Structure 1
Amino acid sequence: MLRRFAGDRSGANAVEFALVAAPFFVLLVGLFEICMIFIAMTTLEHGAAEAARRIRTGELQQSGASADSFKALVCGSTFGILDCDDRLKVDVRVFDDFGAAQGDDPVQDGEVNDDDLQFDAGQGNDIVLARVFYEWQIITPVIGAPLSNMSGDRRLLQASVAFRNEPFGD
């Protein structure tokens, strides 16, 4: 009876599939999430470039520039893919030359430090660095730790645009 039980192979495929299925589906969901992160990054870069164009031409400054108006322009160019309410942060600064146009890391203790973020769109011919940050919540449990750069299995996505404003105004 023991020999007959050991030689019985019915159900072996089901057991093998059960052993392989869990890691396969985790990898499949992880791959899908990485693709979504790349799509979100591309969309964020597009939104930052489109909103920065309004600063570069002086349109935003002449209509009353604010961080909220810049944020609304970025969100308007993301095709509704990103949830812009609390997850999107902007930092726009004026610099003396392009070599100095570097921003500090906004992540401190696993969170974005809002106190370090500024909004100064500048005037005509100013050199401006516009940075946009988005907090992406990672949902795949296995890849959450390696992909996250913030606390709570979140990844900070960033898009930057450096440019010289056109000579607008006086």
Structure 2
Amino acid sequence: MMPSIRYSLAMRLKARFRDYANDHRGIAAVEFALIAAPFFFLIFGLLEVCMIFIMAAILDHGIADAARPLRTGAVQQAGMTPEEFRELLCSELMGMMDCQNRLYFDVQTIDGFNLVPTGSPLNDAGAINGEEFGFIPGGPNDIVAVRVFYEWNLMTPGLTAPLANMAGHKHLIQSNVVFRNEPFGSES
């Protein structure tokens, strides 16, 4: 009598396990739970990279348009101050950036195209060091380098930590333009 009880218990357990293994209810939820973290990491990372590229394009457009009055001498002849140039630059950024608090620019006259400033504006702490920034738009036929820097706050700092190149989970967006001023103010 004992062996038949064991046999029937084993058969019942085997039948229940077979029923459990054949039951596919909820499998989609389990599969989604397994891939949800990498999926959302990928989506948020992609959105962050897209936003950085869009902001870089806006900054490139803004600096190209704002540098035109420098090239033609309109800025120099009007005696424009650095704050007025900031307003000109900000008006070209379509209201997409916080110009007053996170935008930095450097306008320098240089002696040759091979002497364009290429150093990082970040100090050892990972913050922008604007002590060497100036506003020297130059005169006729001078070579001028304009650099603009913007501190982009990462939207998902935990997920996009590899994109942070500044302190405080920020990404530095930079745009440069170098040109020779037109011969404004001369008769020839």
TM-score, length-normalised on structure 2? Answer: 0.83
**Distance apart, 1:164 and its partner CA:** 0.8
Q: Which has the higher helix share?
A: 2
Cα deviation digits, residues 103-158 of structure 1 (max 9, x gap): 43111120000212111111111110000001111122455321111011111111
TM-score, length-normalised on structure 1? Answer: 0.91
Counterpart CA distance in 1 for 2:177 and 2:67 is 7
Q: 1:105 aligns with which of 111, 120, 129?
A: 120
SS of 1:82 mapped into structure 2: coil
SS of 1:107 mapped into structure 2: coil
Aligned-residue sequence identity (percent) comes to 48
**Distance apart, 1:37 and its partner CA:** 0.8
Aligned residues: 170
Q: Which has the higher strand share?
A: 1
Partner of 2:76: 61
Q: Does 1:159 align with 2:182?
A: no
CA contact (8 A) 1:92 1:121 kept: yes
Counterpart CA distance in 2 for 1:60 and 1:100 is 23
- Structure 1 alignment gaps of length 5 or more: none
Counterpart CA distance in 2 for 1:156 and 1:62 is 32
Larger radius of gyration, structure 1 or 2? 2
Partner of 2:136: 120
Q: Does 1:12 align with 2:22?
A: no
Q: Which amino acid aligns with 2:104?
A: K
My pick for the range that moved more, 6-15 or 47-56, is 6-15
